[in-house]
Amino acid sequence: MGTSTRETGPTSLCRTRATQGPTSPLSQAPEAPGEARLWIILEISALTADNAIIVIQRDSRVGEVLKRLREFPVVAILGARQVGKTTLARQVITAGRAPRTAAYYDLENPEDLARLEDPMLALDPQRGLVVIDEVQRFPELFPILRVLADRRPRPARFLVLGSASPALLRQSSESLAGRISHYELGGLSPGEVGWKSLNQLWIRGGFPLAYLARTSRQSTEWRRELIQTFLERDLPQLGVTIPATTLRRFWTMLGHYHGQIWNASAFASSFGVADTTVRRYLDLLASAFVAQILLPWSENLGKRQVKSPKVYLRDSGLLHTLLGLSTQRDVEGHPICGASWEGFALNTVVHRLGARPEECFFWATHAGAELDLLVVRGRRRLGFEFKRTVAPRVTRSMRTALEDLGLQRLDVIHAGDRTFPLSARIRAVALRRADPDLTRLA
d(CA 427, CA 243): 47
Closest CA to 317 of 223, 416, 383: 223
Which pLDDT does position 100 carry in this prediction? 52
Alpha-helical regions (H) of 126-234: 141-149, 166-175, 190-193, 198-204, 208-211, 216-229
User: Which pLDDT belongs to residue 137?
Assistant: 83
Task: Choose among 285, 227, 287, 222: nearest CA to 258.
Answer: 285
Q: What is the pLDDT of residue 185?
A: 94
Sign of CA dihedral 272, 274, 275, 280: negative
pLDDT at 358: 94
Strands 180-184 and 102-106: unpaired
| Rounded-to-integer distance, Cα 41 and Cα 238, Å | 26
Helix axes 141-149, 166-175, angle to 10 degrees: 30
Q: What is the pLDDT of residues 37-79, one digit of tens each?
A: 333 333 333 444 444 456 677 888 999 999 999 999 999 999 9
- Which one, of 69, 79, 129, lies nearest residue 104 by Cα? 129
pLDDT tens per residue across span 200-215: 999 999 999 999 999 9
The C-alpha atoms of residue 428 and residue 419 are separated, in whole angstroms, by 5
Q: What domains sit in the chain, N to C, each tagged with a CATH number?
A: 27-46+56-184 (3.40.50.300), 194-437 (no CATH)
ω into residue 73 within 30 of 0, thus cis?
Answer: no
Q: State the pLDDT at residue 251.
A: 97
Nearest to 343 by CA among 314, 322, 317: 314
pLDDT of the residue at 94: 82
Strand 52-56 vs strand 13-17: parallel, antiparallel, or unpaired?
A: antiparallel
> Do the beta carbons of residue 78 and residue 45 sit within 8 Å?
no
Give the per-residue pLDDT at 223: 98
In contact, 415 and 341? CB cutoff 8 Å: yes
Are 133 and 89 contacting, i.e. CB atoms less than 8 angstroms apart? yes
Kind and range of the H or E run holding 420: strand 420-423
Q: Which residues of the chain are modeled with pLDDT < 50?
A: 1-52, 98-99
H/E segment holding residue 16: strand 13-17
pTM score, two decimals?
0.86
What is residue 74's three-state secondary structure?
A: strand
Closest by CA to 339, choosing from 382, 386, 302, is 386
Question: Shortest CA distance to 414 belongs to which of 327, 345, 351?
Answer: 345
Q: DSSP letters of 326-374?
A: -SHHHHHTSTTHHHHHHHHHHHHHHHHHT--GGGEEEEEBTTS-EEEEE
